[in-house]
């Protein structure tokens, strides 16, 4: 009888959790999955971005190969979240209106084909007419989208993974090759570690947001004339509302800035339709700082063959789009493994 094979997935962020769940559908009877991570959904760390995230889907127009690849991954994730919202109410996913207001729209937003590439699959997508746009806004759209209570969703995914037979191990890895020795008969390692390991193209993007108790009925994103962005993302299951946010590449400061918090809340009180009883005041739960794991040129999704029948499947570098791309990336990773004979074709339902 051949020795049981262990497939190791590194990283319990939303991409790692999604990938571990996705490949469970294609395991041979002789295979099992071990999820290794430094942090798990019950943990909080500035370096563990997924539970901090303001998870929602807002398309990013573009015509480059990377933009089109991400649009395809995002579309599949959108359909996946639509099913989750209907079939798994405890997952912390809800569909509601998504609204965008841009004061200085970049060229790709004015290009109909770029917009078509990433927006037209969305339920009830429409351009906002001039009389629907707030003062100062030149471009606006509305569509059906999802919002995610990110800590609830990550815990839900982990629980499903374990109930389906997956195992976990808390471990801080110094090198990818450690994964081949961490369990018996490891031939395949899936690298969902966010930043990869010593990838010179990887970098962090600091994000600061503010979690408040004030409710809001839509997720709204506003691009300001100075190029900055403001957004509000309600978290389902009474999780409050995330107000954001910043994108600060290569900024390693772990401390929330009071000045940034004041600016975020001031903008939110001007632009977002919080319920009247708020009176422009916010009941702050906490300031949030997280490091989004980004990568020049977009995510790395490829198989690296090491010889001796061992391979690493890379799937990292989603930056601030982890939730938006998560299930599409998981499917692409599983497809790569199927192409290379590392899983079985027929899904286990």
| pLDDT above 70 for 348 | no
Other Cβ atoms less than 10 A from the Cβ of 63: the count is: 13
pTM: 0.95
Q: Per residue in 166-189, pLDDT tens?
A: 999 999 999 999 999 999 999 999
Classify 5-340 by CATH class.
alpha beta
36, with CB counted inside 10 A (0-12, 13-18, 19+), is buried
Q: Per residue in 94-137, pLDDT tens?
A: 999 999 999 999 999 999 999 998 999 999 999 999 999 999 99
Give the pLDDT confidence score for residue 170 in this predicted structure: 97
Give the pLDDT confidence score for residue 63 in this predicted structure: 81
Give the pLDDT confidence score for residue 16 in this predicted structure: 98
Beta strands 31-37; 5-10: pairing state: parallel
pLDDT band at 164 (very low <50, low <70, confident <90, very high): very high
- Segment 272-291 shows an average pLDDT of 85
**Least confident stretch, 34-38, 41-45, 237-241:** 41-45
pLDDT band at 52 (very low <50, low <70, confident <90, very high): confident
Give the pLDDT confidence score for residue 3 in this predicted structure: 81
Domain boundaries, the chain: 5-340
| pLDDT above 90 for 84 | yes
| pLDDT above 70 for 278 | no
Give the pLDDT confidence score for residue 265 in this predicted structure: 94
Tokens encoding 194: 């966010």
Better pLDDT: 162 or 349: 162
- Segment 59-83 shows an average pLDDT of 93
Percent of the chain at pLDDT exceeding 90: 85
């Amino acid at each position: 009888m051949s020795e049981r094979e262990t497939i190791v997935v590194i990283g319990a962020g939303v991409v790692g959790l999604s990938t571990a769940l996705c490949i469970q559908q294609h395991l041979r009877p002789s295979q099992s999955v071990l999820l290794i991570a430094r942090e798990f959904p019950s943990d909080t760390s500035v370096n563990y971005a997924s539970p901090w995230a303001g998870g929602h889907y807002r398309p990013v127009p573009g015509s480059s190969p990377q933009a089109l690849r991400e649009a395809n991954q995002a579309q599949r994730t959108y359909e996946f979240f639509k099913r989750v919202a209907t079939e798994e109410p405890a997952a912390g996913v809800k569909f509601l209106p998504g609204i965008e207001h841009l004061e200085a729209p970049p060229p790709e937003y004015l290009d109909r084909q770029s917009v078509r590439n990433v927006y037209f699959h969305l339920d009830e997508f429409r351009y906002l007419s001039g009389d629907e746009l707030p003062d100062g806004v030149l471009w606006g759209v509305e569509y059906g989208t999802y919002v995610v209570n990110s800590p609830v969703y990550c815990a839900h995914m982990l629980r499903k993974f374990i109930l389906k037979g997956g195992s976990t191990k808390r471990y801080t890895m110094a090198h990818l090759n450690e994964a081949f020795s961490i369990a018996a008969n490891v031939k395949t390692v899936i690298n969902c570690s966010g930043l990869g390991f010593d990838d010179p193209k990887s970098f962090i993007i600091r994000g600061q947001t503010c979690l408040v108790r004030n409710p809001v009925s839509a997720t709204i994103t506003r691009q300001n004339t100075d190029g900055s962005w403001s957004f509000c993302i309600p978290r389902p299951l009474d999780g409050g509302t995330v107000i954001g946010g910043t994108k600060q590449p290569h900024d390693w400061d772990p401390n929330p800035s009071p000045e940034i918090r004041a600016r975020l809340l001031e903008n939110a009180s001007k632009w977002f339709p919080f319920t009247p009883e708020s009176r422009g005041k916010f009941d702050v739960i906490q300031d949030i700082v997280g490091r989004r794991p980004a990568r020049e040129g977009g995510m790395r999704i490829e198989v690296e063959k090491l010889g001796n029948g061992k391979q690493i499947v890379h799937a990292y570098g989603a930056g601030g789009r982890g939730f938006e791309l998560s299930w599409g990336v998981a499917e692409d990773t599983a497809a790569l493994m199927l192409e290379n004979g590392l899983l079985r074709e027929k899904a286990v339902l």
